[in-house]
């Protein structure tokens, strides 16, 4: 009854009555002999299996009904005179002919001792309440049922010959293999299973008419860990996107909603990707993370993970998770975050999985996860108490270890390897330089003081909203001009600091501001790339290559061209950069959605971008004496535009649109694209081409299609339409508008003013208001 996972292909009936072998669950059996026996009918199969602490011999001696034999239990009474000597029992024939005289002796002398042993074993088995049984008679049918210990005990009682040597206790709890009783099994394989704790032994044995797979999933009491199989059913809506699964908190709080997804993930991974391995767990501190962390820890233990590293209080930024995975050579990691989406009981929660390289799981895995959520029938979870995550330390449950770690230390060590901290510290310590960082009450609050204050010498009051809160202080932790109002107000004030930055919920996005000056994410990655070799030690030999997401402006393209570097345009989603990094073809990359990073990890990295900008500012001013005017953020941007030209860029977000209207708008645009021709006029713009962006990975040849609708004009201007998959409800329509301006005299024009003709054209082409009813965007970037 401790065996929760049983898959039967074929029919289990009297015609396939099995003999039963009981295996030691910890040590692999020393020997398994299958042979004929003079005590059994010719076609019945005994099985002898010896383990470390006990031996079981099971001999099936009941023929099947289909072979014409019915077994009857005949009432009888004891008879006198059956004292058995060294030569057996000898009497006159007439004595043996008395009713039941011979039958009594045969039953008692031959079978009663074995039956008594079996009864004690069955009493033990009855203690287990149920066994989940999945029966698949054919490839198209399936039914699930629960079989109680009582029924299994009755089944075992049908086997009259059982010799037991040793003690059967919870410390020797067996897994069970079921063998075909007539035909010798074609194969008996004993191997590890991705669903089992490390030392438990599954047995898969196939016979002529059916196959049984029995998987023991209860560890022994001596190992201190009990594994439970919890029956469950598929739930709707667990399609996993580029950033994992994101829904409202109340959805995740539904029974088994999160547990189903976590188990489906383990069901999707190859055994070697986690069995006895190390996983990392962290999150942004939002509401529901505490409960979710305990669920994830227990299911990880139930599926055979050897160790899980958890950030103190469940906190660890997304880039830090990637860094820890890579440094600790972990098998992967869970990130509990809905990124820049709001948090709290009424808002959003999310979960995603990163691979051993530290990058988000590829579509091949996320598609499998979704497929498994549609067929899941049980969840494997360890029966362990909730783990105290409030302080650094280690706790062990049998062969499963939970280590609570400092979420900052490994990440800080990596940042010190990438950047010249002394150079940055010299800048921050200047009396004529002031710095402001807004953590938005999100996870980077846990990193800001150790890095900027303790290590780089910034004043404590340079950090605002630095305490991570479950609801982000009732804010929306999205670092843009709309939601990061606290920082915007500081940086556009009369006596503003020289440099300002903010990061989002899970710490992978960033916003960069100078005094009264906003740096677009598209310009930010281009400026970092152009200055990296000089200002950042990690790039002292120059970047290997540059890349951006398709909607991001072409500013980075121009840097790649001037520096003669390989350049790549990929779909939205950081995972598309991973293959290029692993192949050694990419160093610096970015997305217009405030994501910037490099190949030091496999995630975008908000703190990294802030340190990169501080490095550039510090390098530009390293020879400036006190009293001399510092090179400002605006100066750096304008110098860049003078060298490369300016790509005016803006993004209009229409959040939580009604999905059907948004989809109809996209289909309408696809229809327009199918009919467009090069050279067509759109107001003052001439069409170069229009398409639905498709990407072929140059490393593995994988193809990602339908990644955004593009209208590209002959002067380099672009209009792009996308539906975003990062929200938790409805659909978010994003419109991207870009126009290149080489004339330095026009670089100081306000972006919205410069782009107004193109913005009006974008709204006109799409008929957005007609399809969605929206007159204004939710956010303008």
Distance CA 116, CA 106 (A): 15
Q: Is residue 549 part of a domain?
A: yes
Segment 79-114, tens digit of pLDDT: 888 888 767 888 889 888 988 889 888 887 666 554
Domain that holds residue 656: 647-780
Q: Which residues contact 376 (CB under 8 A, 6 or more apart)?
A: 232, 233, 234, 260, 263, 264, 267
Residue 67 sits in the same domain as residue 161: yes
Helices 633-644 and 521-535 cross at an angle (nearest 10°) of 90
Segment 454-470, tens digit of pLDDT: 999 999 999 999 999 99
Structural domain total, the chain: 4
Q: Is residue 354 part of a domain?
A: yes
Residue 367 sits in the same domain as residue 478: no
Segment 26-80, tens digit of pLDDT: 222 322 222 333 332 333 233 322 232 223 333 333 333 334 567 788 889 888 8
Residue 334 sits in the same domain as residue 437: no
Residue 16 sits in the same domain as residue 62: yes
Q: What is the separation of C-alpha 11 from the centre of its chain, rounded to a whole number of angstroms?
A: 37
Q: Is residue 565 part of a domain?
A: yes
Residue 238 sits in the same domain as residue 155: no
Residue 294 sits in the same domain as residue 427: no
Residue 671 sits in the same domain as residue 776: yes
Residue 335: which CATH number? 3.40.120.10
Q: Is residue 34 part of a domain?
A: yes
Q: 340, 369, 404: which is the final residue of a domain?
A: 404
Segment 674-720, tens digit of pLDDT: 999 999 999 899 999 999 999 999 999 989 899 999 999 999 999 99
Q: Which two tokens stand for residue 680?
A: 């067509």
Residue 217 sits in the same domain as residue 291: no
Q: 376, 404, 432: which is the final residue of a domain?
A: 404
Q: Is residue 482 part of a domain?
A: yes
Distance CA 781, CA 524 (A): 14
Q: Is residue 86 part of a domain?
A: no
Collapsed DSSP state (helix, strand, coil) of residue 713: strand
Q: Is residue 87 part of a domain?
A: no
Instruction: Read off the pLDDT of each residue in 120-149 and give the average, rounded to a whole number.
Output: 39
Residue 637 sits in the same domain as residue 494: yes
Segment 525-562, tens digit of pLDDT: 999 999 999 999 999 999 999 999 999 999 999 999 99
The alpha carbons of the chain give a radius of gyration, in whole angstroms, of 34
Residue 295 sits in the same domain as residue 380: yes
Distance CA 452, CA 458 (A): 6
Residue 235 sits in the same domain as residue 186: no
Q: Is residue 267 part of a domain?
A: yes
Residue 695: which CATH number? 3.30.310.50
Residues serving a catalytic function are: 339
Q: Residue 150, Cβ neighbours under 10 Å: how many?
A: 15
Residue 162: per-residue pLDDT? 32
Residue 577 sits in the same domain as residue 690: no
- 194 band by pLDDT with thresholds 50, 70 and 90: very low
Q: 404, 426, 443: which is the final residue of a domain?
A: 404
């Amino acid at each position: 009854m401790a065996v929760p996972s049983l898959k039967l292909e074929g029919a289990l009936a009297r015609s396939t009555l099995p003999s039963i072998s009981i295996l030691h669950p910890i040590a692999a059996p020393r020997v398994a002999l299958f042979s004929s026996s003079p005590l059994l009918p010719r076609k019945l199969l005994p099985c002898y299996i010896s383990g470390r602490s006990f031996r079981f011999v099971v001999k099936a001696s009941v023929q099947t009904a289909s072979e014409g034999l019915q077994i009857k239990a005949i009432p009888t009474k004891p008879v006198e005179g059956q004292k058995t000597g060294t030569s057996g029992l000898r009497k006159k024939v007439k004595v043996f002919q008395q009713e039941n005289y011979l039958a009594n002796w045969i039953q008692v002398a031959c079978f009663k001792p074995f039956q008594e042993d079996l009864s004690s074993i069955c009493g033990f088995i009855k203690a287990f309440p149920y066994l989940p049984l999945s029966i698949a008679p054919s490839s198209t049918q399936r039914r699930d049922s629960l079989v109680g210990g009582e029924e299994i005990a009755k089944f075992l009682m049908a086997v009259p010959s059982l010799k037991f040597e040793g003690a059967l206790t919870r410390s020797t709890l067996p897994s069970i293999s079921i063998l075909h009783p007539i035909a010798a099994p074609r194969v008996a394989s004993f191997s590890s299973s991705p669903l089992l704790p490390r030392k438990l032994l599954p047995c898969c044995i196939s016979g002529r008419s059916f196959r049984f797979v029995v998987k023991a999933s209860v560890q022994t009491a001596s190992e201190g860990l009990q594994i439970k199989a919890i029956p469950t059913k598929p739930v709707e809506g667990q399609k996993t996107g580029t950033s994992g699964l994101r829904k409202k908190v109340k959805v995740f709080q539904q029974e088994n909603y999160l547990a189903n997804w976590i188990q489906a993930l383990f069901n999707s991974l190859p055994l070697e990707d986690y069995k006895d391995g190390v996983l990392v767990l962290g999150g942004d501190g939002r509401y529901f993370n505490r409960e979710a962390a305990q669920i994830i820890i227990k299911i990880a233990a139930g599926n055979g993970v050897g160790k899980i590293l958890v950030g103190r209080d469940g906190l660890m930024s997304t880039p830090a998770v990637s860094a820890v995975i890579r440094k600790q050579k972990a098998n992967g990691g869970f990130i509990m975050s809905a990124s820049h989406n709001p948090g709290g009981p009424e808002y959003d929660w999310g979960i995603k999985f990163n691979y051993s390289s530290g990058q988000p799981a590829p579509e091949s895995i996320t598609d499998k996860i979704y497929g498994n959520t549609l067929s899941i029938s049980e969840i494997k979870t360890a029966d362990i108490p909730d783990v105290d995550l409030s302080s650094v330390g280690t706790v062990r449950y049998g062969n499963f270890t939970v280590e609570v770690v400092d979420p900052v230390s490994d990440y800080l060590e990596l940042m010190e390897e990438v950047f010249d901290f002394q150079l940055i510290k010299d800048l921050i310590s200047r009396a004529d330089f002031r710095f402001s960082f807004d953590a938005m009450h999100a996870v980077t609050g846990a990193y800001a003081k150790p890095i900027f204050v303790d290590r780089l010498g910034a004043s404590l009051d340079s950090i605002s909203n630095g305490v991570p809160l479950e609801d982000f202080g009732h804010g929306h932790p999205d670092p843009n001009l709309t939601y990061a109002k606290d920082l915007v107000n500081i940086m556009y004030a009369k006596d503003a600091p020289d440099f300002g930055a903010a990061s989002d919920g899970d710490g992978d996005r960033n916003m960069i501001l100078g005094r009264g000056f906003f740096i677009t994410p598209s310009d930010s990655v281009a400026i970092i790339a152009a200055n990296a070799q000089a200002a950042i030690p990690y790039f002292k030999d120059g970047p290997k290559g540059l890349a951006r997401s398709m909607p991001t402006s072409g500013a980075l393209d121009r840097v790649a061209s001037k520096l003669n570097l390989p350049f790549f345009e990929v779909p939205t989603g950081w995972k598309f950069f991973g293959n290029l990094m692993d192949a050694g073809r990419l160093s610096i990359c970015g997305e217009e959605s405030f994501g910037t990073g490099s190949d030091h990890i496999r995630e975008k990295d908000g703190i990294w971008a802030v340190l990169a900008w501080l490095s550039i500012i510090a390098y530009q001013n390293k020879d400036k004496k006190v009293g001399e005017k510092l090179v400002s953020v605006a100066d750096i941007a304008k110098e860049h535009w003078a060298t490369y030209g300016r790509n005016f860029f803006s993004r209009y977000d229409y959040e939580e649109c009604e999905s059907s209207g948004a989809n109809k708008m996209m289909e309408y645009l696809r229809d327009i694209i199918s009919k467009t021709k090069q050279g067509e006029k759109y107001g003052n713009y001439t069409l170069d081409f229009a398409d639905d962006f498709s990407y072929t990975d140059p490393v593995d040849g994988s193809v990602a299609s339908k990644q955004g609708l593009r209208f590209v004009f002959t002067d380099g201007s672009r209009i792009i339409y996308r539906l975003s998959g990062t929200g938790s409800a409805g659909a978010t329509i994003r419109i991207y508008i870009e126009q290149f301006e080489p004339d330095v005299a026009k670089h100081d024009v306000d972006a919205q003013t410069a782009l107004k003709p193109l913005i009006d054209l974008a709204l006109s082409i799409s008929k957005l208001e007609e399809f969605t009813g929206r007159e204004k965007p939710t956010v303008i970037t």
